[in-house]
């Protein structure tokens, strides 16, 4: 990086490894690239141990992890299965507490943790279903983690980038985002 930052990136599963390596090798050569499946506690522990060995400390952590089975996003939220609910909450919300816990010893001098949320945590958004519930849990986790981490001089925040026009927008963002101008500007009239 231009200002001297050394970066580490993680990926879940071999299928995504190639994507991350391709990005980092061309744009950020020398970055540490590690596997980190947040559903495997031992892999999370190993990721942070390797990070400690390589860097000695962390200044910041970006938590940009979310997943729900596709069938839990379609149709009614009422049809969400227990397994789909638990998967979405574990990967999309619990993982923040898990990685924050692992990162805290590496932030002895303070640091910053940022996670990604979405408007669907506050308002019903068609096609978002269980992810809205997971993002609401994520936002609550941020508040509780802030209370725990603040005295350690570690800031934690959730940010929402807002709606972006892409191939999934009409299905994911709902009909209130159907026109291109509202997607670009973020102008929206929530239906719920």
Q: Identify the three-state secondary structure at position 188.
A: coil
Dihedral sign of CA atoms 69, 71, 74, 80 in order: negative
- Please list the active-site residues: 118, 128
Which ranges of 38-129 would DSSP assign to H, the alpha helix?
Answer: 41-55, 82-89, 95-103
C-alpha distances (whole Å) from 166 to each of 88, 122, 131, 172 are: 23, 22, 18, 10
Is the CB of residue 157 less than 8 Å from the CB of residue 108? Answer: no
């Amino acid at each position: 990086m231009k200002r001297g930052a050394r970066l580490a990136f993680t990926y879940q599963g071999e299928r995504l490894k190639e994507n991350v390596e391709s990005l980092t090798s061309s744009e950020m050569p020398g970055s540490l690239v590690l596997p980190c499946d947040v559903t495997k506690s031992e892999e999370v522990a190993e990721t942070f141990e390797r990070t400690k060995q390589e860097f000695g400390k962390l200044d910041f952590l970006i938590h940009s992890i979310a997943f729900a089975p596709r069938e839990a996003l379609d149709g009614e939220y009422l049809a969400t299965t227990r397994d789909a609910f638990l998967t979405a909450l574990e990967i999309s919300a619990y993982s923040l507490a898990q990685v924050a816990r692992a990162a805290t010893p590496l932030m002895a001098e303070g640091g910053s943790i940022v996670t990604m949320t979405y408007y669907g945590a506050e308002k019903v958004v068609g096609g978002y279903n269980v992810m809205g519930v997971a993002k609401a849990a994520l936002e609550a986790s941020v508040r509780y983690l802030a209370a725990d981490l603040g005295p350690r001089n570690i800031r934690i925040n959730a940010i929402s980038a807002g709606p972006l026009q892409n191939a999934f927008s009409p299905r994911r963002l709902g009909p209130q985002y159907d026109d291109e101008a509202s997607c670009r500007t973020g102008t929206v009239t929530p239906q719920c």
